[in-house]
Amino acid sequence: MPLRTPALRLAAVLVLLPIAGVNAACACGAGQSAAPAAEPAPVIPAKAESLPVNGQLLAAADAIVAEGAPLKPDAARRYSTPLLRVDDSGLIQAYIYCERERCQAIGDALLDAGGRVEDIQTQAARPLIQGWIPAVYMREAARLDGVISIGLPAYAHTR
């Protein structure tokens, strides 16, 4: 479709000139082009990382990491909620749902990172590790081979 109005033609030229490597501000003669301006590469925002971690767990882990070590004495009280438990050393209690054949290796990796493993349930319909994950290791734990998701433990509640 031809560009019928001068304004549309001008807009098209201004859009296409940088693609062709021509500086629009150049007063060059016909058939000439200026050297392309040394412009910095466009900034492309990083894609938000999608991790299979409960949002409350990830937010608590990030806040604890941002606070830095050593944690203040009231850290466990400040970060813990009725659904989220944090100990004084910055470990966060969680369920790591995993592929059945990878659960033991994931538990070993958790121990190597300074975490604690309370139980590994490979025979459950949905295999999981119940343990305590160091806040600084939460994102890395989510990336381990065989991790399906990391969620809040199911605590018993009284009525």
pLDDT at residue 19, rounded to an integer: 46
pLDDT level of residue 58 (50, 70, 90 thresholds):
very high
Report the share of the chain in percent with pLDDT over 70: 69
Of 23, 40, 32, 61, the closest CA to residue 140 belongs to 61
Q: What is the pLDDT of residues 82-126, one digit of tens each?
A: 999 999 999 999 999 999 999 999 999 999 999 999 999 999 999
Confidence of residue 4 (pLDDT cuts 50, 70, 90): low
For the chain, how many residues are written? 159
Three-class SS of 84-129: CCECCCCEEEEEEEECHHHHHHHHHHHHHCCCEEEEEECCCCCCEE
Please state the rounded mean pLDDT for residues 58-74.
90
Q: Which residue has the higher pLDDT, 58 or 3?
A: 58
Distances (CA, A) of 113 to 5, 88, 107, 116, 132: 66, 17, 10, 9, 11
Least confident of 11-25, 62-76, 83-97: 11-25
Amino acid 87: pLDDT? 93
Q: Do 131 and 116 contact (CB within 8 A), yes or no? A: yes
Who has greater pLDDT, 90 or 11? 90
